[in-house]
């Protein structure tokens, strides 16, 4: 099979994401070259969906590159890490100066920076592009976070805007910034995704054990929440999962037969690792990553069961999957107000998680000189991606009004919304502690909120301790400079600068 150069764009890597992305591109009228390491996937795509557009199948990397018009645009959609390097190593020698190579996978932004430099030396434009929306989004319109040079974006931008989902006439794709900026923002997106899911899971856990309601009844609660401030894709699919029955025994809730150990591919962990380097407290994302790790610590969990007691005075909780009204720690008469408290706690904690994520985007942008516009990120996350949510429009507005907003939490709308729910939030955290139902996302978000708003923090004592054991010095509230106490002598103070 020898291809003449007719294809406007190529996609290599035709698994879940690449296959649907290629279909999306072809459906928009682009002649699309398709290639996969294992050729059967290429044949399957063209055999099943060839009628949707003009595909140019290629059996080898050489045929694939030869089928593209010059300068070439190629999107790589393979497993992140070593597989991406392997594909780049195979393609790069076949490319020419001016060609554009796009990595649409979930790459670590540091890898993207490294690859961009290496390929730039060969005259190839490398663009790291974050794509979110899963299988369905890739086909019907994802949210796209393109990084890379202005030059690459000039050619790539219109294609990505065509295939991205549209919200209120605006495509959910915009140039994020140079080199690793797109993958950095995608990484933080996924970190927020972790935090959001953890908070939803905590809300479910508290409601389930607090009220003793069935998952099906709780699905109704989440459905009702989805018509208010919490409206989002994740709340919508929570209702779907809770409503689902076990396919092999439909009267049993699916959620009760799924092993309670959350897995992870790594983007949440990368977010936290990077946040530690940047010094940005993304406690909501960190709690979510650690909660997944704890859930997966099967041996320790087994060892602790029946050994570590819980609170003695808590009434018996209905068996998971038991009858409605089997009993929880909340009095039946208080059920409605408990549901409303949990909703308020979820919303406030979610605002904190997003505020922390946006802080991290700003910190990364400053560190790497990317010039990322946070409001533009909120705009492209309004549709297509996993964290799409009604309140992202509010976040967009907040940054439009004040681009240098110090924290989303001090925007008047969000400050008011969180203040309105804070008493309920505190009640829920107290209740979780008293009942022994862990809610690390809710409680750490509340601790962050209190840490942010208090005039004086406990860190003054930490500084005093550091000065005592290590002469690390401290600053004073009443005059500039660094100071140290002669702790082993006469307790006199000396000034260092």
Ligand X SMILES: O=C(CO)[C@H](O)[C@H](O)COP(=O)(O)O
Ligand Y SMILES: NC(=O)C1=CN([C@@H]2O[C@H](COP(=O)(O)OP(=O)(O)OC[C@H]3O[C@@H](n4cnc5c(N)ncnc54)[C@H](OP(=O)(O)O)[C@@H]3O)[C@@H](O)[C@H]2O)C=CC1
Could you list the active site residues?
186, 193
Half-sphere exposure of 334 toward its Cβ, with a 13 Å CA cutoff?
A: 14
Coil/strand/helix, residue 371: coil
**Residue 54 touching ligand X (CB under 6 A):** no
Nearer to ligand X, 190 or 280 (CB): 190
Q: What's the min distance (Å) between Cβ of 190 and ligand X? A: 5
Does 125 show up as a binding residue in the annotation?
no
The count of residues interacting with ligand X (CB under 6 A) is: 9
Does 401 show up as a binding residue in the annotation?
no
DSSP 478-490: SS-S-EEE-TTTT
Nearer to ligand X, 131 or 418 (CB): 131
Q: What's the min distance (Å) between Cβ of 267 and ligand Y? A: 8
**Residue 265 touching ligand X (CB under 6 A):** yes
**Residue 105 touching ligand Y (CB under 6 A):** yes
Q: What's the min distance (Å) between Cβ of 187 and ligand Y? A: 11
From candidates 3, 32, 132, 379, binder to ligand Y by CB under 6 A: 132
**Residue 200 touching ligand X (CB under 6 A):** no
Residue number with the smallest Cβ distance to ligand Y:
105
Among 28, 24, 243, 53, residue whose Cα is nearest residue 135: 24
**Residue 78 touching ligand Y (CB under 6 A):** yes
DSSP label of 53:
S
Q: Supply angle C-alpha 412, 351, 450, rounded to 5.
A: 80
Stretch that binds ligand X, among 110-118, 233-241, 259-267, 392-400 (CB under 6 A): 259-267
Stretch that binds ligand X, among 262-270, 424-432, 469-477, 486-494 (CB under 6 A): 262-270
| Residue position matching structure tokens 């139902």 | 437
**Residue 106 touching ligand X (CB under 6 A):** yes
From candidates 36, 112, 190, 444, binder to ligand X by CB under 6 A: 190
Q: Supply angle C-alpha 367, 160, 402, rounded to 5.
A: 45
**Residue 268 touching ligand Y (CB under 6 A):** no
CA distances to 56, 357, 416, 428, 457 from 4, rounded to whole Å, are 10, 46, 61, 65, 68
From candidates 87, 88, 185, 282, binder to ligand Y by CB under 6 A: 87
Nearer to ligand X, 106 or 379 (CB): 106
Q: What's the min distance (Å) between Cβ of 408 and ligand X? A: 21
Does 189 show up as a binding residue in the annotation?
yes
DSSP 87-155: HHHHHGGG--TT-EEEE-S---HHHHHHHHHHHHTTT-EEEEEEEESHHHHHHH--EEEEBS-HHHHHH
Is 272 within 8 Å of 286 (Cβ atoms)?
yes
**Residue 132 touching ligand X (CB under 6 A):** yes
Does 203 show up as a binding residue in the annotation?
no
Site string for ligand X, 224-243 (x = CB under 6 A): --------------------
Sort 70 into a burial class: Cβ within 10 Å, 0-12 / 13-18 / 19+: exposed
Does 472 show up as a binding residue in the annotation?
yes
Please report how the helices 181-211 and 233-243 are oriented relative to each other, as an axis angle in degrees rounded to 10: 40
Q: Can you name the residues that pair with 177 across neighbouring β-strands?
A: 147
Nearer to ligand X, 20 or 431 (CB): 20
Residue 264's binding partner among ligand X, ligand Y, none (Cβ under 5 to 8 angstroms by kind) is ligand X
- What six digits make up the tokens of 40? 């059967």
Stretch that binds ligand X, among 202-210, 260-268, 280-288, 368-376 (CB under 6 A): 260-268
Sorted by sequence, the CB contacts under 8 Å of residue 304 that are 6+ apart come out as none
Cα–Cα distance, 128 to 336 (Å, whole number): 47
Does 67 show up as a binding residue in the annotation?
no
Coil/strand/helix, residue 33: strand
Among 478, 477, 468, 476, residue whose Cα is nearest residue 496: 476
Q: What's the min distance (Å) between Cβ of 12 and ligand Y? A: 8
Residue 190's binding partner among ligand Y, ligand X, none (Cβ under 5 to 8 angstroms by kind) is ligand X
From candidates 17, 129, 286, 342, binder to ligand Y by CB under 6 A: 17
Cα–Cα distance, 334 to 431 (Å, whole number): 13
Annotated binding site for NADP(+): 13-18, 36-38, 78-80, 106
Annotated binding site: 13-18, 36-38, 78-80, 106, 132-134, 189-190, 194, 265, 292, 466, 472
Please give the residue ranges that form the binding site for ligand Y (CB under 6 A). 13-18, 36-38, 41, 77-80, 83, 86-87, 105-106, 131-132, 134
Please give the residue ranges that form the binding site for ligand X (CB under 6 A). 106, 132, 134, 190, 264-265, 267-268, 386
């Amino acid at each position: 099979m020898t291809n003449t150069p007719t294809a406007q764009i190529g996609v290599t890597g035709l698994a879940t994401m690449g296959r649907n992305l290629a279909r999306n591109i072809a459906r928009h009228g682009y002649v699309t070259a398709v290639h996969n390491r294992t050729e059967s996937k290429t044949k399957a795509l063209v055999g099943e969906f060839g009628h949707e557009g003009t595909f140019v199948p290629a059996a080898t990397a050489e045929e694939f590159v030869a089928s593209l018009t010059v300068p070439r645009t190629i999107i790589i959609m393979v497993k992140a890490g070593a597989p991406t390097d392997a594909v780049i190593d195979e393609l790069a020698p076949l490319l020419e100066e001016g060609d554009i190579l796009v990595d649409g996978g979930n790459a670590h932004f540091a890898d993207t920076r490294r690859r961009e430099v290496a390929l730039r030396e060969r005259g190839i434009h490398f663009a790291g592009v974050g794509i979110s929306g899963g299988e369905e989004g890739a086909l019907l319109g994802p949210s796209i976070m393109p990084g890379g040079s202005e030059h690459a974006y000039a050619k790539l931008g219109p294609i990505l805007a065509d295939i991205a989902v549209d919200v209120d006439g605006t495509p959910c794709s915009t140039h994020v910034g140079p080199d690793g900026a797109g993958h950095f923002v995608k990484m933080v997106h996924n970190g927020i995704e972790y935090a959001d899911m953890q908070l939803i899971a905590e809300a479910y856990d508290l409601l389930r054990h607090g009220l003793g309601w069935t998952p099906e009844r709780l699905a109704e609660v989440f459905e009702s929440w989805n018509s208010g401030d919490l409206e989002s894709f994740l709340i919508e699919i929570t209702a779907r999962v809770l409503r689902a029955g076990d396919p092999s025994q439909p009267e049993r809730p699916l959620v009760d037969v799924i092993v309670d150990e959350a897995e992870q591919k790594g983007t949440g962990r990368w977010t936290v690792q990077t946040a530690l380097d940047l010094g940005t407290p993304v406690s909501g994302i960190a709690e979510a990553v650690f909660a997944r790790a704890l859930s997966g610590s099967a041996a320790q969990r087994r060892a602790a069961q029946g050994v570590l007691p819980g609170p003695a005075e808590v009434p018996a909780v209905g068996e998971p999957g038991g009858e409605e009204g089997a009993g929880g720690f909340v009095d039946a008469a208080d059920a409605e107000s408990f549901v409303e408290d949990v909703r308020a706690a979820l919303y406030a904690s979610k605002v904190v998680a997003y505020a922390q994520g946006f802080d991290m985007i700003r910190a990364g942008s400053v560190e790497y000189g990317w010039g990322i516009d946070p409001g533009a990120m909120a705009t492209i996350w309004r549709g297509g991606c996993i964290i799409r949510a009604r309140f992202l429009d509010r976040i967009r507005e907040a940054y439009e009004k004040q681009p240098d907003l110090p924290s989303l939490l001090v925007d008047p709308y969000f400050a008011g919304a969180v203040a309105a729910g804070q008493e309920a939030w505190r009640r829920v955290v107290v209740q979780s502690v008293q009942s022994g139902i862990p809610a690390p996302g809710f409680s750490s978000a509340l601790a962050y909120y209190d840490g942010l708003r208090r005039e004086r923090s406990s860190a003054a004592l930490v500084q005093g301790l550091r000065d005592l054991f290590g002469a690390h010095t401290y600053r004073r509230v009443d005059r500039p400079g660094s100071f140290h106490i002669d702790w082993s002598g006469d307790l006199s103070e000396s000034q260092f600068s």
